[in-house]
Amino acid sequence: MSKIFSMGSSNRLFGGFCVLVTTFWAIFFVAPAHAQTCSFINGNTNRTVTFTIPRNLSMPRNPPVGTVVWESSTHTHIGANEVFRCNAAYRVGVTSSVGGWQTVGQTEFPIGNTGLAWSLIANNRTIRSIYGSLTRPNNGASGFDRWQFKLVIKTIKSVSAGATIPGGDLGHYSIHEELNGLTFKTSNQASVSTLSCKTPDVTVKMGDQNRVRHFNGVGTSLAPVNFSIALKECPEGLTKVSYLLKPNTQIVDAARSVVALDATSIAKGVGLQILDEGGKPAVLNKKIAFSGYETVGGNFSIPFKAAYHQTAPVVEAGSANSSLTLVMSYE
């Protein structure tokens, strides 16, 4: 930022602005004591379904809730050795081994405090928690032979730095909270990292030859200054890059994208106008997809312009500074 000069007899505006870049309970059921409703038959027992998961997973920085981080291929379970029978109506559903209490109808099961959760899809249906699940009629022996399963890892809140998905047990397909018909495991621990571009802060020098007499009245602007936001070392794998321009001062003319000067400024009667590459008022406080991004990654830049804009009938010379924050988001 430019230093502040005393006004004296000066009739100039000088200064600049800075673009700061930032990168964007439960119900517990206790079953009463009773005779066991369900049991394995003929020596059958619990079986395990193991999903092979990559050791390293990537996701966009600050992804929206519900973003799928990883989804397994379909696993067809071949097994005739976990057949069970119930002597009355019974419930089935998921119990989790890696999170806290489960809620009625829950389909996303938190993985510790990582901000991630796992879901189980069986035969193209997302399986709910056993708590509050529908009761099935007793219809003889049942099993899981030829059932098809998928494991889905997704975000349920802000993902913690260094988040990992543990190797081993994730949970079970419970039968009436008496039997674990199937156990679901991951093959190994998986680390989750974020994909993003490096976006250094930018200081735009507006120059010191901006004369007060060059304005032509309220609503007019001086010659714009070109600047750009650099996106450096963008990784391969991002499908969409968006940005949001967030003024750090008041918006004084939304239609023209004019923001107020900051409290350190001496100049009066002017604001800072932010323009896109074509010279049109830039969109403020709204996420915009960057059309110049390519999914192969690399280095890019988002071009803008800035100009001093007259906001009052009388303009007083002096330092004229402002700032905005550019919030990046990645998908």
- Domains defined along the chain, listed by start: 12-23+196-330 (2.60.40.1090), 38-194 (2.60.40.3310)
- Torsion-angle region of residue 257: left (phi > 0), alpha (psi -120 to 50) or beta? left
Q: What is the pLDDT of residues 186-220, one digit of tens each?
A: 999 999 988 888 889 999 998 878 899 999 999 99
Tokens, residue 307: 């100009």
Residue 303: name the closest of 292, 319, 316 by CA. Answer: 292
- Provide the 10 A C-beta neighbour count for residue 201: 14
Q: What is the pLDDT of residues 132-144, one digit of tens each?
A: 777 888 878 888 8
Tally helices (H) and strands (E) across the chain.
0, 27
Tokens, residue 107: 């389909």
Q: What is the pLDDT of residues 50-107, one digit of tens each?
A: 999 999 998 877 788 999 999 999 999 987 778 999 999 999 999 999 987 788 889 9
What predicted TM-score, i.e. pTM, was given to this entire model?
0.56
Tokens, residue 146: 């030829």
